[in-house]
Amino acid sequence: MGFSAAITNKFRCWSFYAFACYRGTGGRARYVAEDWSEVHLDLPLSRRTRNYVGTIFGGSMYSAVDPIYMVMLIRRLGKDYIVWDKSASIQFKKPGRETLHARFVVADEELAAIRAALETQRSIDRTYLIELKDSSGTACATVEKLIYIRKR
């Protein structure tokens, strides 16, 4: 990644922090693809995210990943579509004792499938799975997001 690309990526990462509610999550966007097709996120164990027993608070885990797929789909689909979070669930697998990492991907094939489905349906729901992993690649939590999408 060249210097100007790194600066542009940094600006896209910082765009999440324009919203005070996201700044409070403790999540940190590390990489945002130019076309918003991929986002990498870190959630450090810190004073802000630590719970009573010294591990990452489950609320921090969820809130750090909550808006990402919705924002990615809004950016990728454009103004002709309405995108809303519809529901979510979280499964805690093991305590987060260090920085956790998450990767979000909305491939071109996914966009094509959404657009094709909306040619014959008024609205659709899409499910996305996010794993918050430690440095060894072990999932500490799995979040399932249900996203509502329709044409304007």
> What mean pLDDT is reported for the chain?
90
User: Per-residue pLDDT for 87 more than 80?
Assistant: yes
What is the rounded distance in angstroms from the CA atom of residue 132 to the CA atom of residue 70?
A: 17
User: Per-residue pLDDT for 52 more than 70?
Assistant: yes
Residue 29 has φ and ψ, to the nearest 5°, of -65, 125
User: Per-residue pLDDT for 108 more than 90?
Assistant: yes
- Look at residue 25 in the predicted model and tell me its pLDDT: 80
Q: How confident is the model at residue 26 (pLDDT cuts 50, 70, 90)?
A: confident
CATH code for position 40: 3.10.129.10
Overall domain count for the chain: 1
Residue 19 DSSP code: S
pLDDT in tens, 64-77: 999 999 999 999 99
Q: Residue 116's CB: how many other CB atoms inside 10 A?
A: 10
Strand-by-strand arrangement of the 38-43 sheet = 28-32, 38-43, 100-105, 123-133, 139-151, 81-92
In the chain, pLDDT over 90 holds for what percent of residues? 79
User: Per-residue pLDDT for 113 more than 70?
Assistant: yes
- Look at residue 24 in the predicted model and tell me its pLDDT: 72
- For the chain, give the number of residues: 152
Q: How confident is the model at residue 17 (pLDDT cuts 50, 70, 90)?
A: low
Which residues fall within 8 angstroms of residue 88, CB to CB, at 6 or more apart? 62, 66, 143, 144, 145, 146
Specify the pTM: 0.87
- Look at residue 11 in the predicted model and tell me its pLDDT: 58
The answer to whether the CB of 149 falls within 8 A of the CB of 141 is no
132: domain range? Answer: 3-151
pLDDT in tens, 123-136: 999 999 999 999 99
Mean pLDDT, residues 36-64: 94
Mean pLDDT, residues 75-82: 96
